[in-house]
């Protein structure tokens, strides 16, 4: 019996030997590394399952039919949960764009802040002067501005444009922000394709440098 | 051996009962503010019940969510009762949370050795904020829609990954039916389970160090021959029965609100909750529920967008370090009159901020907003200095207590 106990003690003793400790540390490290790798591999699909679904991504573009939009009219459509405004501007309306610049009313008349794709960096802020396509969200705190095309409708000097009901931001008919508004920048313009022959606009994706609100 | 002993030998419950109820000694001088903790437990249980029953009829989709909530109100038998229990319950939980925290501040309950109890409790308060936010997006009213848009867009200000986090939170470029699905999952599983877990941890950490009391003195310093604190009484039956009578009074108030003032003058249920979500029609002014509006007022008080967000985040997080801002070794403000006056000003100021946060953003409120923010921030900045030099009376050796 005593012999047996001695033998057992002998087999226990080497547990504290450096070789065993090294082996144990190696095993612990291996388990930790493998465990972390497995957890990391599982987290990726788990987080990705929260990304927008294929169905939601399929709704990413919006097509607007231009046929019913007569000169001076506007249409608001939904694109990626955001309102998109399409305006058919008359020559008189286009003339106000120069007038606002001449009177020095605008914060950024030459559109130097990239709130629009390069092909829209002009006073019309559009591909084709008559047709304005833009996101109808105020640059200040995400409200939906009212369309006020009539002269003098917001203030005696008003030339037509947008007026935000929340905090009073004002924009001209190219959605360029007017001085004295709390909004810092012009309203954003998304990337879009326009086909005058087929009378349609396809809003494709957000212009990445533009700042919504 | 009877059945009772057979179970006792195998069950951990009798020992837990002794440790946390029958032989947990609490100070005998608790006052009315000490009801808030047990009432919060009651309210969380009731929120679970009413929430479970309204969830049984709720449809988390953009097309049906709003109508299903109206269906609960008008078509489901007693659905209106379950719904108002849930809506008013959430506001009352915040009433109780504020009373509970104010009591902790008045009697120095956050001070050593209870710092971790305060940290866990304050985390719990923040998790309750998240829970109520997910909850009020679910009905998909126009307020839900715009509140959801504004709050999730705050995530955009996270450096580098803000845009991606916002998309993940919304499940798309904006608030939609997909958002409702994940918010419901968060509201009823993850965040709710987090609340239950944190409540358990909060109580376990409290029972390790023992309860504070209005005199802020350590009852474990005076013990009888059995080793029990002379100024302590067993939680069960003394405080368990006292809390039950508190439940009775509280349920009377709760039912009075549900039956006679269910919207509480549109403070507990805002008018804009009664129009369906509309992405093309933003609200004239998006104000948060009353319990978050002090922080909203502070956000608005700073004319700079990033500055406003920073002040709000500071205001929400700074109470975490309260145990280390207070330098006075005496706990209760009963013996620290200057801190007590500062606290009373702080509490009144919090109400003023809540009120001004609900007002439209007009210039006539700017001064109040900015003054309120200055007082809120000033309290936390002044506290370490004042508590080092303030005149302090010596607390009594034993708790002040009048038998009744």
Partner residue opposite B176 with nearest CB, options A81, A142, A143:
A81
A50 touches chain B (CB under 8 A): yes
Question: CA B156, B157, B162 angle in degrees (round to 5)?
Answer: 45
Q: Show the domains of chain A with their CATH numbers.
A: 2-48 (no CATH), 56-205 (2.102.10.10)
Determine if the peptide bond prior to A21 is cis (ω within 30°): no
CB–CB of A81 and B361 under 8 A? no
Predicted confidence (pLDDT) per residue in B225-280, tens digit: 999 999 999 999 999 999 999 999 999 999 999 999 999 999 999 988 889 998 88
CB–CB of A81 and B285 under 8 A? no
pLDDT exceeds cutoff 70 at A1:
no
CB A139 within 8 A of CB A185: yes
pLDDT of residue A175: 92
Predicted confidence (pLDDT) per residue in B96-106, tens digit: 999 999 999 99
Predicted confidence (pLDDT) per residue in B320-343, tens digit: 999 999 999 999 999 999 999 999
CB–CB of B176 and A56 under 8 A? yes
Q: How far is CA B192 from the centre of its chain?
A: 14
A74 touches chain B (CB under 8 A): no
Under DSSP, the state recorded for A153 is: S
A141 touches chain B (CB under 8 A): yes
Partner residue opposite B182 with nearest CB, options A50, A81, A206:
A50
CB–CB of A142 and B282 under 8 A? yes
Backbone φ and ψ of A101, nearest 5°: -70, -45
CB A76 within 8 A of CB B280: yes
pLDDT of residue B118: 98
Predicted confidence (pLDDT) per residue in B19-33, tens digit: 999 999 999 999 999
A47 touches chain B (CB under 8 A): yes
A80 touches chain B (CB under 8 A): yes
pLDDT of residue B94: 98
Residue B282 CA to residue B272 CA, distance in Å, equals 11
pLDDT of residue A8: 55
Partner residue opposite A52 with nearest CB, options B172, B285, B361:
B172
CB–CB of B282 and A144 under 8 A? yes
Under DSSP, the state recorded for B22 is: I
Residue B361 CA to residue B308 CA, distance in Å, equals 14
CB–CB of B173 and A76 under 8 A? no
- Chain A, nearest residue to B303 by Cα: A182
B240 touches chain A (CB under 8 A): no
Residues of B in contact with A86 (CB under 8 A): none
Distance from CA of B379 to the nearest CA of A (A): 30
Residues of B in contact with A165 (CB under 8 A): 282, 284
- Substitution target in A44, A48, A50 with the highest count of B β-carbons within 10 Å is A50
B285 touches chain A (CB under 8 A): yes
Residue A107 CA to residue A99 CA, distance in Å, equals 14
pLDDT exceeds cutoff 60 at B298:
yes
pLDDT exceeds cutoff 70 at A9:
no
- Substitution target in B137, B145, B172 with the highest count of A β-carbons within 10 Å is B172
A38 touches chain B (CB under 8 A): no
Tell me the pLDDT band of B18, cut-offs 50, 70 and 90: very high
pLDDT exceeds cutoff 90 at A167:
no
Residue A78 CA to residue A63 CA, distance in Å, equals 10
CB–CB of B279 and A213 under 8 A? no
- H helix intervals, chain A: 2-12, 18-48, 54-58, 91-102
Residue B55 CA to residue B64 CA, distance in Å, equals 13
Query: Measuring CA to CA, which residue among B347, B344, B353 is closest to residue B298?
Result: B353
A75 touches chain B (CB under 8 A): no
How far separated are the first and last CA of chain B, in Å rounded? 43
Of A139-143, A151-155, B19-23, which range is least confident? A139-143
A51 touches chain B (CB under 8 A): yes
b vs e for A41-76, b when ≥16 Cβ sit within 10 Å of the residue's Cβ? Answer: eeeeeeeeeeebeeebeebeebebebeebeeeeeee
Partner residue opposite A143 with nearest CB, options B167, B182, B282:
B282
Predicted confidence (pLDDT) per residue in B125-134, tens digit: 999 999 999 9
Return the biggest CA–CA distance within chain A: 112
Residue A187 CA to residue A139 CA, distance in Å, equals 6
Q: What is the number of CB-based contacts under 8 A between chain A and chain B?
A: 53
B279 touches chain A (CB under 8 A): yes
CB B104 within 8 A of CB B121: yes
Distance from CA of A81 to the nearest CA of B (A): 5
pLDDT of residue B285: 66
CA torsion, ordered B368, B369, B370, B373, to nearest 10 deg: 120
Q: Which two tokens stand for residue A159?
A: 């030339």
Q: Which two tokens stand for residue B367?
A: 């001064």
- Chain A, nearest residue to B286 by Cα: A166
Predicted confidence (pLDDT) per residue in A42-94, tens digit: 999 999 999 888 877 777 788 999 999 999 888 999 888 889 999 999 999 99
More confident position, A164 or B347: B347
Cα Rg of chain B, angstroms: 23
- Chain B, nearest residue to A165 by Cα: B284
Residues of B in contact with A47 (CB under 8 A): 168
CB–CB of B178 and A52 under 8 A? yes
Q: Which two tokens stand for residue B319?
A: 């109470």
B69 touches chain A (CB under 8 A): no
Chain B 142-171, residues with CB within 8 Å of chain A CB atoms: 149-150, 153, 167-168, 171
For the ranges B174-183, B287-296, B343-352, the one whose mean pLDDT is highest: B343-352
Residue A154 CA to residue A171 CA, distance in Å, equals 11
Instruction: For residue B121, count CB atoms less than 10 angstroms from its CB and return exposed for 0-12, middle for 13-18, buried for 19 or more.
Output: buried
Q: Show the domains of chain B with their CATH numbers.
A: 16-286 (1.20.810.10), 292-399 (no CATH)
- Substitution target in B62, B161, B282 with the highest count of A β-carbons within 10 Å is B282
Q: Which helix (H) or strand (E) element contains residue B293? A: helix B293-301
Tell me the pLDDT band of A14, cut-offs 50, 70 and 90: low
A58 touches chain B (CB under 8 A): no
CB–CB of B153 and A213 under 8 A? yes
Under DSSP, the state recorded for B390 is: S
What one-character-per-residue DSSP string does B146-193 give? HHHHHHHHHGGGSTTTHHHHHHHHHTSSSS-HHHHHHHHHIIIIIHHH
Of A104-108, B164-168, B226-230, B278-282, which range is least confident? B278-282
B140 conformational bin, left if phi > 0, alpha if psi -120 to 50, beta if neither: left
More confident position, A206 or B393: B393
Pairs from B365-372 (Cβ < 8 Å, separation ≥ 24) = B366/B301, B369/B297, B369/B298, B369/B300, B369/B301, B370/B301, B372/B294, B372/B297, B372/B298, B372/B301
pLDDT of residue A3: 57
Distances (CA, A) of A33 to A19, A20, A43, A47, B7: 21, 20, 15, 21, 44
State the ipTM, two decimals: 0.74
pLDDT of residue A21: 85
What one-character-per-residue DSSP string does B317-382 give? HGGGGHHHH---S---GGG-HHHHHHHHHHHHHHHHHHHHHTS-S-GGGHHHHHHHHHHHHHHHHH
pLDDT of residue B174: 85
Residues of B in contact with A83 (CB under 8 A): 279-280
Cβ neighbours of B227 (radius 10 Å): 8
Residues of A in contact with B155 (CB under 8 A): none
At a CB cut-off of 8 Å and minimum separation 6, what does A149 contact?
A72, A74, A93, A160, A161, A173
Q: What is the mean pLDDT of residues B207-212?
A: 96
pLDDT of residue B282: 76
CB–CB of B282 and A166 under 8 A? yes
């Amino acid at each position: 019996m005593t012999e047996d106990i001695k033998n057992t003690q002998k087999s226990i003793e080497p547990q504290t030997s450096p070789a065993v400790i090294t082996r144990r540390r190696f095993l612990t490290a291996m388990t930790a590394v493998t465990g972390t790798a497995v957890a990391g591999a599982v987290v990726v699909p788990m987080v990705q399952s929260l990304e927008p679904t294929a169905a939601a991504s399929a709704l990413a573009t919006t097509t607007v039919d231009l046929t019913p939009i007569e000169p001076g009219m506007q249409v608001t459509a939904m694109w990626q949960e955001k309102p998109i405004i399409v305006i058919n501007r008359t020559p008189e309306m286009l003339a106000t764009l120069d007038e606002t610049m001449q009177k020095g009313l605008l914060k950024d008349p030459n559109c130097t802040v990239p709130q629009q794709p390069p092909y829209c960096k002009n006073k019309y802020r559009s591909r084709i002067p008559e047709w304005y396509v833009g996101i109808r969200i105020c640059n200040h705190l995400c409200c939906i501005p009212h369309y006020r095309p009539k002269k003098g409708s917001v203030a005696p000097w008003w030339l037509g444009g947008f007026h935000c009901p929340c905090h009073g931001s004002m924009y001209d008919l190219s959605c360029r922000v007017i001085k004295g508004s709390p909004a810092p920048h012009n309203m954003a313009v998304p990337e879009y394709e326009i086909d005058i022959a087929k009378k349609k606009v396809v809003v494709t994706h957000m212009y990445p440098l533009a700042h919504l609100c | 051996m009877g059945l009772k002993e057979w179970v006792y030998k195998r069950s951990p419950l009798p020992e837990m009962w002794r440790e946390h109820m029958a032989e947990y000694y609490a100070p005998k001088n608790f006052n009315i503010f000490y009801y808030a903790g047990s009432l919060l437990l009651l309210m969380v249980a009731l929120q679970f019940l009413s929430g479970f029953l309204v969830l049984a009829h709720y449809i988390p989709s953009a097309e049906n969510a709003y109508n299903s909530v109206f269906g609960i109100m008008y078509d489901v038998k007693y659905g209106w009762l379950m719904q108002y229990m849930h809506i008013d319950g959430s506001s009352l939980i915040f009433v109780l949370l504020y009373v509970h925290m104010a009591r902790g501040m008045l009697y120095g309950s956050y001070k050593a050795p209870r710092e971790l109890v305060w940290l866990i409790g304050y985390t719990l308060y923040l998790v309750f904020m998240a829970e109520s936010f997910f909850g009020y997006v679910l009905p998909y009213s126009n307020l839900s829609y715009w509140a959801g848009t504004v709050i999730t867009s705050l995530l955009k200000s996270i450096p580098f990954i803000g845009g991606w986090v916002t998309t993940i939170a919304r499940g798309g470029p904006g608030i939609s039916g997909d958002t409702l699905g994940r918010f419901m999952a968060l509201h009823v599983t993850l965040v709710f389970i987090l609340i239950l877990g944190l409540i358990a941890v909060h109580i376990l950490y409290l029972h390790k160090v023992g309860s504070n009391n209005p005199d802020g003195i350590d009852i474990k310093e005076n013990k009888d021959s059995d080793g029990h604190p002379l100024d302590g009484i067993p939680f069960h039956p003394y405080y368990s029965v006292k809390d039950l009578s508190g439940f009775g009074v509280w349920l009377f108030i709760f039912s009075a609100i549900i039956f006679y003032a269910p919207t509480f003058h549109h403070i507990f249920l805002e008018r804009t909750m009664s129009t369906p979500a509309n992405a093309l029609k933003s609200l004239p002014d998006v104000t948060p529920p009353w319990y978050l509006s002090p922080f909203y007022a502070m956000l608005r008080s700073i004319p700079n967008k990033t500055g406003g967000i920073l002040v709000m985040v500071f205001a929400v997080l700074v109470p975490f370090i309260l145990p280390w801002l207070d330098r006075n070794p005496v706990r209760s403000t009963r013996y620290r009159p200057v801190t007590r006056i500062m606290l009373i000003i702080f509490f009144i100021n919090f109400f003023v901020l809540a009120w001004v946060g609900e007002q439209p953003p007009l210039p006539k409120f700017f001064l109040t907003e900015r003054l309120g923010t200055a007082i809120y921030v000033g309290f936390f900045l002044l506290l370490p200095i004042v508590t080092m030099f303030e005149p302090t009376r010596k607390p009594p050796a034993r708790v002040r207590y009048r038998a009744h």
